[in-house]
């Protein structure tokens, strides 16, 4: 799911969430049909959860890299991409309630300091 998240939830462009879900579920079906995914993983809701959680990991990593480029390397050009990148995480609060504390932290402690 890492490559799929990289394509569909890119740090530089934001597609409509419903379209992203449709594309992700389309990939899920193709992966099942071509046996990239085993049939025991046929639950679309579970696949979207995996997709969301992989996105959290990817976007936290990307936001950290953008901050490092600014603070260590003196390249502030990516700082403007951090709010969009982190919005992919905060947008998940309703769909993945167990991420709500992380979303609140990002909203209150991170985004307010950029």
The string of DSSP codes covering 55-105 is HHHHHHHHHHHHHHHHHTT--GGGGGGHHHHHHHHHTTTTT-GGGHHHHHH
Q: Give the mean pLDDT of 81-106.
A: 94
- What is the per-residue pLDDT for 50? 95
What range defines the domain where residue 100 resides? 2-113
Distance from C-alpha of 89 to C-alpha of 11, rounded to nearest angstrom: 12
- What is the per-residue pLDDT for 80? 95
SS3 38: coil
Q: Tens of pLDDT along 53-77?
A: 999 999 999 999 999 999 999 999 9
* pLDDT higher than 90, residue 28: yes
Q: Give the mean pLDDT of 70-94.
A: 95
Distance from C-alpha of 100 to C-alpha of 47, rounded to nearest angstrom: 20
- What is the per-residue pLDDT for 93? 84
Give the chain's domain count: 1
- What is the per-residue pLDDT for 94? 87
Structural Rg of the chain based on CA atoms? 15
| Long-range pairs for 14-18: beta carbons < 8 A, 24 or more residues apart | 14/84, 14/87, 14/88, 17/91
pTM score, two decimals? 0.89
């Amino acid at each position: 799911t890492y490559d799929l998240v990289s394509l569909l939830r890119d740090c530089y462009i934001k597609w409509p969430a419903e379209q992203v879900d449709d594309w992700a579920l389309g990939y899920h079906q193709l992966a099942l049909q071509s046996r990239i995914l085993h049939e025991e993983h046929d639950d679309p809701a579970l696949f979207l959860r995996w997709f969301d959680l992989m996105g959290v990991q990817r976007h936290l990593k990307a936001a950290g890299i953008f901050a490092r480029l600014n603070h260590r390397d003196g390249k502030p050009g990516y700082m403007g991409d951090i709010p969009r990148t982190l919005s992919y995480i905060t947008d998940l609060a309703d769909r993945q309630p167990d991420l709500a504390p992380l979303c609140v932290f990002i909203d209150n402690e991170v985004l307010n300091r950029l």
